[in-house]
């Protein structure tokens, strides 16, 4: 007998009562499970080169992901890239085809990719982040005459101002420039 949720008995088994719902106690009515996509590549390193325009509350730059396919023949890799203007993508310093729907950027790695083959995927972009990166203007009452920018290190949501891996199963080294 298989159970999704229920009361835990002293022996560790789950058991349902006759009228007990099959949803976890913290779920809202109508909630459905959401599973992360399969990991297609191993992200070895992320190099982030950005220019900040504090007055316009924008960030522009290039993010270079060093990736290695987990399987032979991996053709595409997807990145979260909410509300960005993607001006170009290169794979191994060559222009690459990409598809962008306003939330997800899918990059064509090309044919014949082997498992473990290191590739550099560079994404040139511009964005006005909604969350995760904050722009603070100058204050009239203090000596602060220039605006500032800050980033939430723990943000794991979309729209953070930088194209990022969809799967966050592993943490890869990052270099900010």
How far CA 141 is from CA of 78, 138, 144, 145, 146, in Å, comes to 46, 9, 8, 10, 13
Provide, rounded to the nearest whole percent, the portion of the chain with pLDDT above 70: 64
Nearest 5°: the CA angle 165, 38, 158 is: 35
pLDDT digits (tens, 9 = 90+) for 142-155: 666 666 777 665 54
Confidence band of 157 (pLDDT split at 50, 70, 90): very low
For residue 73, the 8-state DSSP code is T
Which contacts qualify for 5-12: CB closer than 8 Å, 24 or more apart?
A: none
pLDDT digits (tens, 9 = 90+) for 29-87: 787 877 778 889 999 999 989 898 888 888 899 999 999 999 999 999 999 888 899 99
**Alpha-carbon distance 76 to 91, whole Å?**
11
Q: Output the pTM of the full model.
A: 0.70
3-state class of 15 per DSSP?
A: strand
In the chain, what are the domain boundaries? Answer: 41-137+146-176
**Alpha-carbon distance 149 to 138, whole Å?**
11
| Average pLDDT, integer, range 109-115 | 91
Which of the four CATH numbers 1.10.10.10, 3.40.605.10, 1.20.1530.20, 2.60.40.1730 does domain 41-137+146-176 have?
A: 2.60.40.1730
Adjacency order of strands within the sheet including 84-91: 94-95, 84-91, 119-127, 58-69, 41-53, 174-176
Six-digit token string for 65 = 């992901």
Confidence band of 165 (pLDDT split at 50, 70, 90): low
């Amino acid at each position: 007998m298989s159970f999704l949720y229920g009361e835990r008995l002293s022996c560790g088994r789950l058991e349902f009562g006759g009228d007990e719902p099959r949803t976890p106690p913290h779920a809202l009515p109508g909630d459905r499970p959401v599973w992360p996509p399969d990991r297609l590549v191993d992200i070895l390193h992320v190099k982030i080169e950005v220019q900040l325009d504090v007055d316009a509350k924008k960030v522009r730059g290039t993010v270079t992901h060093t990736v290695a396919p987990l399987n032979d023949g991996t053709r595409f890799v997807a990145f979260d890239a909410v509300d960005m203007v993607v001006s170009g993508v290169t794979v191994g310093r060559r222009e690459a085809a990409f598809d962008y729907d306003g939330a997800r950027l899918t990059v064509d790695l090309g044919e014949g990719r082997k498992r473990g083959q290191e590739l550099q995927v560079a994404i040139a972009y511009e964005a006005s982040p909604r969350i995760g990166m904050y722009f603070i203007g100058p204050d009239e009452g203090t000596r602060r005459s220039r605006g500032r920018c800050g980033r939430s290190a723990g943000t794991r949501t979309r729209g953070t101002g930088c194209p990022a891996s969809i799967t966050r199963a592993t943490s890869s080294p990052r270099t900010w420039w």
